[in-house]
Structure 1
Amino acid sequence: MEDQGIVHLYLERSQQALVETKNKYGAYCKAIARNILSNYSDIEECENDTYLAAWNAIPPNMPRKFSVFLGRITRHIALDKYGYNTAKKRNREFEVILTELEGCIASPETVETEYEAGEIASLINQFLYALDEQARNLFIRRYWYSDSIKNLTMRFNMSSSKVKSILFRTRNKLRDHLHKEGVNL
């Protein structure tokens, strides 16, 4: 079923919307959650919570791109679950990903308003659009989808050192871009 048809089912409050969403995007949502969480039951819970959140959000929200809408919901739920799970312990794999980006973007404590956060997001998008396709895809897969270095090497058919090198240079370019635009890190 096409995305518009699924969204229409949500608007009609049809339970079939959930079935169609799971059929089309279940694996996608699980993959996003799996890259952040390591426990299978947490991943399944995150997937189901995504469907509930989509049910509650449509209407009033009308997603422009349904897959991105679901991906964003899944990611936020998985990050919340990760925070809950790691209140006393650490997930080393995901902790490394967060640490890599620390020097590039300002922490939430330094961003005082929603407007500033939106401006920084706009600058990051501008930066990403200016990158070559390979660097952009690596950056997004690593820092949005939380793919491991091993998965990136297989996906892009590169050595681990090349992937790390491209990500390192891209982070440095992002830091320089944000600094040039007046974002204090």
Structure 2
Amino acid sequence: MEDRAIVALYWKRAETAILETKKQYGRLLFSISRGILRNEEDAEECENDTYLRAWDTIPPKRPEKLSAFLAKITRNLSLDRYDAMHAEKRGGGEVPLLLDELAEVIADETAFPTDTEGLSEVLNAFLGRLKPDARTIFLRRYWFGDSVQEISARSGFGESKIKMSLLRTRQSLKEVLEKEGYRV
């Protein structure tokens, strides 16, 4: 079923909207959440919470790209759950590693203006200029939360190539952000 038809089901308040959403995007949403949480039960709960959040949000919102809309909800829910689970026991896991890696590019949240649309445009343009392999590696690491080993297994590239690609892409991103006037 096409995205427009699924969104129309939400607008009609038809419960089949959730079933169609799960059929179309369930694997993607589960994958995003599992990459962050590293736990299948928690990932499944976040996936289900995504359907509820979509139900509560559509209408009044009418997402242009349903997959991106749902992925963002899932990612935010998963990161919130991760924070809650690790609030008292800071330490291991993939998310702190991701944040440490990105810290060299993004100093902190005060480095960026509240105009997130401008930053989104810069990031989208940056990602659009990357070679497909570098873009996929970068997104698998920093959007989906995949480990270097998982990216290596998925792509067929060696772990050292993955690490080098990530390093070069982060360096390029830092240069682009500085050129655009963002404090890094």
Unaligned residue ranges in structure 2 (runs of 5+): none
What does residue range 66-145 of structure 1 map to in structure 2 within 5 Å?
A: 66-89=66-89, 90-113=91-114, 115=115, 117-145=116-144
State the Cα RMSD in Å: 1.4
Consecutive aligned runs of 4 or more in structure 1 exceeding 4 Å deviation = none
Deviations 1:11-51 (A, max 9, x none): 10011111111122111111000000023321121011100
CA distance, structure 1, for counterparts of residue 47 and residue 92 of structure 2: 20
Question: Could you state the TM-score of these two structures normalised by the residue count of structure 1?
Answer: 0.93
Please tell me the residue identity of whatever aligns with 1:92. Answer: G
Residue pair 2:107, 2:183 contacting (<8 A) in 1 also = yes
Kindly state the Cα deviation for residue 163 of structure 1 after the two structures are TM-superposed: 0.5
Kindly state the Cα deviation for residue 106 of structure 1 after the two structures are TM-superposed: 3.9
Residue identity (%): 44
What does residue range 16-95 of structure 1 map to in structure 2 within 5 Å?
A: 16-89=16-89, 90-95=91-96
Residue pair 2:112, 2:183 contacting (<8 A) in 1 also = no
CA distance, structure 2, for counterparts of residue 33 and residue 166 of structure 1: 24
Question: Counterpart of 1:7?
Answer: 7
Q: Matched residue pairs, number?
A: 183
CA distance, structure 2, for counterparts of residue 120 and residue 106 of structure 1: 15
Please tell me the residue identity of whatever aligns with 1:51. Answer: Y
Kindly state the Cα deviation for residue 184 of structure 1 after the two structures are TM-superposed: 0.8
Question: Counterpart of 2:170?
Answer: 171
Kindly state the Cα deviation for residue 112 of structure 1 after the two structures are TM-superposed: 4.6
Question: Could you state the TM-score of these two structures normalised by the residue count of structure 2?
Answer: 0.93
Please tell me the residue identity of whatever aligns with 1:25. Answer: Y
SS at match of 1:136: helix
Unaligned residue ranges in structure 1 (runs of 5+): none
